Amino acid sequence: MDDKDMGPDLEKVLISADEVQARLAGLARAIETDYDGKDVLLVGVLNGALVVMADLIRELHIDTEMDWMAISSYGAGTKSSGVVRIMKDLGADIQNRHVLVVEDIIDSGLTLSWLLSNLRSRGPASLEVVTLLRKPDAAKVAIDVKYVGFDIPNEFVVGYGLDYAQRFRGLPFIGTLAPHVYSS
């Protein structure tokens, strides 16, 4: 699927596929430097981070393991409900491990803040975050994010794993939806 397949549903392409890939390569180089010689566990947050995690792990030139969590605070809407539920927990024990949480986007930060608190309680050696996108203007809590791909405006975005009502995840770029899609 690309921007031509979306017809009038796409308002604009915010970040091109080439820009996304180049930034992930840059993030991978920083992660390699910081984690050289360390036992790293990448923890992807499903479903959105699936695409980010897949491309990031292929860019990395260090050996890593990966695991997944699924947490929910959105449902089918465009705003977080504020209630976080673990839909799928980690299979790996993270005690004394270097854990790098892989996110697709950080909006309010409320869900991620909850997740980091939950993971800290499990005793990792270190806990950091890499995110493809961050919306500084939407932040409701301060979160130290070590690796940020792009800071973006507070707009509802789709593509590259991000969805609206489970649609548009397969776009190779980050785009904004036309208001008629989510306001009806």
Which active-site residues does the annotation give? 107
Question: 149 with 53: CB under 8 angstroms?
Answer: no
Please give the Cα distance from 36 to 58 (Å, whole number).
16
State how far the Cα of 183 lies from the Cα of 177, in Å rounded to an integer: 10
Given its phi and psi angles, is residue 11 left (phi above 0), alpha (psi -120 to 50 degrees) or beta?
alpha
Tell me if the bond preceding 154 is cis, omega within 30° of 0.
no
Neighbours of 88 (CB within 10 A): 12
In angstroms, the CA 45 to CA 48 distance is 7
